[in-house]
Structures are given as C-alpha cells and as structure tokens.
C-alpha cells in the first residue's frame, strides 16, 4: 500500500468519507493521543501553567483534545475542510482555520508559547502542484513558524520520513530558519514502534539539549505500523504476516488456533470501520489443492 501523501493531495485525500473514518477509528484516536502526549513531554512546558499552543495540521481536533486535557489554549490549522468541519462538530475549544502550511503561518510574531504537529510535516515534501517546490514550501513553513514562537519556546513535530534524504530535507529547512534542535527517535530498534520527533528551539543553540528518546517498548499492542498513520488503514507487511502465521502454527501465539486468530483479526477490522466478509463455516479452513 502506498503512503497517503503519494495517493492524493491532503485536501483531496481527507475528503468527507476519509475524515469521518479517521475520526471514528478507536485505533487512530489511541495513536493520536499517544503521539500528542509524547510531543507534550518533549516540549517540556512549565507545569501548572496554561499556555497558548499551536497544532499544525490539526485535522479533526484529536490532538487538540489532549492539549485541552492538559489545560492549554490552542489554535489549529489544516488544509482539509472536511477535517475542520468534523472538528467543529466535535465542539473543540481551539480556534480553527483552513490553511496550506506550505504557504507560511499567519500568526503574529512572538505570540505562541509552543507548537506541535502530528503526522503532517512530511506532506510538504511532495510537489502536488506545478508551482510546489518542497524546499521553498518547507522554508516558508519553518521561517514563519520561527517568527510566531516566543523566544525560548519549543516546537515538536512528529513525522514519518520516507527516507534519510527526506529527513535531511526537513531538518535542514528548520535549521536554516533559525531553529536549534534535532531529531529524537523513540524505539529506534523496533521496526513497528519507531517514531520520529523533530524537536526545535528558538533560543541560543548552546542552551538547548536534545531530549532523550524512549528505547523500551512496553507493550506489543502499542507498536503501530508507520503506514497506518494518516489513513486509518492498519496493515502488516508480508514478512511480518508470514512470521505471525508461523508463530500461530507453532502454537507461540497463546496456543490459539489459526481460525481464532483470523476471527479476532476480522473483528478488529470491523471496529476500524472496514468492510469485512461475514464469518462462515469455511472461515480459517485449509483449502484443498486445485489441479
């Protein structure tokens, strides 16, 4: 399955159907909550002090709800009108507006105490229109963001780099805009749980220390596949699926049968709002060879 940003521009990819599916998926809600909570940890904000934060690529407001739970005021922007419409229906407390972040952020200089962005920055690396130049769009985004933050404030952007070259493109644009900082990679030794956070600082580089990464995966259920981040579609690649099936056949998955594993997987997909074939007496049954 291709990455969402290769499927269509964000304003088209997140149409009414996709936005609704995204917001109603318990799996996506859980992932967004985890990523936003981690972003707040990396921001290292003063405790007990409500601040004004920005959520760039706020979508339907799932991350904003976490900011509200921590007592902060927030403003959000997103390019998808469908996502923003759902955010308004959910009665989020944040001020929302439609914006292509590649054109720059319109906030007044020095007004933001911090900012987060969950699974959005990598979209700027695509040229969806003839006048889109990724380096220029990233430059506009980071330079306008730098101006909007108060001096000494931090910004944390969780993103999914497609390659080392793309990660370098993003980090270089941030440093050219004046930021100090670096990339924190949580669970670097895990294929599924690995997460990238670009931690930026508007103060002098000498006074910034890149936060420590998490290295121990607490729960296998929290190891989220990178490719499900924006579409709500959960997949296991061929190699991992084959390994899982071998574990089932060898009885290493809690001694469950292959049929039980298939039924449980189908139930998870139903909860995600996907179309799943009805169960029958043939479900999980080994097929006879055909000649």
Q: What would the pLDDT profile of 7-25 be if each residue is shown by its tens digit?
A: 888 888 889 999 898 888 8
Rounded-to-integer distance, Cα 121 and Cα 111, Å: 21
If 0-12 CB within 10 Å is exposed, 13-18 middle and 19+ buried, where does residue 141 land?
Answer: buried
In a domain, 90, yes or no: yes
Query: Average of pLDDT values for 67-78?
Result: 94
Please check whether residues 244 and 219 belong to one and the same domain. Answer: no
Rounded-to-integer distance, Cα 266 and Cα 94, Å: 36
| β-strand pairing of 149-159 with 195-201 | antiparallel
In a domain, 290, yes or no: no
In a domain, 81, yes or no: yes
pTM of the model: 0.73
CA 7 to centroid of chain Cα atoms: 17
Please check whether residues 174 and 246 belong to one and the same domain. Answer: no
Q: Which residue segment(s) compose the domain that 262 sits in?
A: 238-271
In a domain, 284, yes or no: no
Q: Is the pLDDT of residue 102 over 60?
A: yes
In a domain, 259, yes or no: yes
User: What proportion of the chain, given as a percentage, has pLDDT over 70?
Assistant: 83
Query: Average of pLDDT values for 67-89?
Result: 93
Q: Is the pLDDT of residue 233 over 70?
A: no
Write the CA distances from 68 to 73, 75, 219, 225, integer angstroms.
Answer: 7, 11, 26, 27
Task: Give pLDDT, residue 1.
Answer: 52
The last residue of a domain, from among 228, 257, 281? 228
Q: Is 105 helix (H, G, I), strand (E, B) or coil?
A: coil
In a domain, 233, yes or no: no
**Structurally, how many domains does the chain consist of?**
2
Lowest mean pLDDT among 95-99, 149-153, 226-230: 226-230
Rounded-to-integer distance, Cα 114 and Cα 35, Å: 16
Rounded-to-integer distance, Cα 203 and Cα 54, Å: 18
Please check whether residues 99 and 140 belong to one and the same domain. Answer: yes
| β-strand pairing of 73-78 with 95-98 | parallel
Please check whether residues 108 and 81 belong to one and the same domain. Answer: yes
Question: Per-residue confidence at 180, pLDDT binned at 50, 70, 90?
Answer: very high
Question: Per-residue confidence at 254, pLDDT binned at 50, 70, 90?
Answer: very low
Between 200 and 286, name the one with better pLDDT. 200
Question: Per-residue confidence at 127, pLDDT binned at 50, 70, 90?
Answer: confident
Query: Average of pLDDT values for 175-198?
Result: 93
């Amino acid at each position: 399955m291709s990455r969402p940003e290769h499927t269509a521009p964000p304003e088209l990819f997140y149409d009414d159907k996709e936005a609704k599916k995204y917001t109603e998926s318990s799996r996506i809600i859980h992932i967004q909550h985890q990523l936003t909570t981690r972003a707040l940890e990396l921001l290292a904000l003063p405790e007990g002090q409500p601040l004004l934060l920005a959520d760039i690529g706020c979508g339907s407001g799932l991350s904003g709800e976490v900011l509200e739970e921590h007592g902060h005021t927030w403003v959000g922007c997103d390019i998808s009108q469908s996502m923003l419409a759902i955010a308004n229906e959910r009665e989020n407390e944040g001020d929302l507006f439609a914006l292509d972040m590649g054109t720059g952020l319109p906030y007044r200089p020095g007004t933001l105490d911090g900012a987060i962005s969950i699974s959005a920055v990598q979209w700027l690396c695509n040229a969806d229109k003839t006048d889109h130049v990724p380096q220029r769009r990233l430059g506009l985004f980071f330079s306008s963001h730098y101006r909007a933050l108060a001096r000494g404030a931090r910004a944390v952007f969780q993103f999914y780099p497609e390659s080392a070259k793309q990660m370098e493109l993003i980090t270089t644009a941030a440093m050219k805009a004046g930021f100090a900082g670096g990339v924190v990679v949580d669970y670097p030794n895990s294929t599924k749980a690995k997460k990238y956070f670009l931690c930026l600082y508007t103060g002098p580089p000498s006074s910034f220390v890149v936060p420590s990464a998490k290295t121990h995966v607490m729960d296998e259920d929290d190891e989220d596949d990178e490719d499900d981040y924006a579409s709500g579609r959960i997949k296991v690649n061929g190699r991992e699926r084959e390994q899982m099936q071998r574990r089932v056949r060898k009885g290493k998955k809690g001694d469950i049968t292959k049929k039980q594993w298939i039924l449980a997987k189908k139930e998870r997909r139903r909860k995600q709002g996907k179309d799943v074939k009805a169960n029958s007496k043939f479900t999980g049954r080994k097929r006879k060879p055909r000649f």
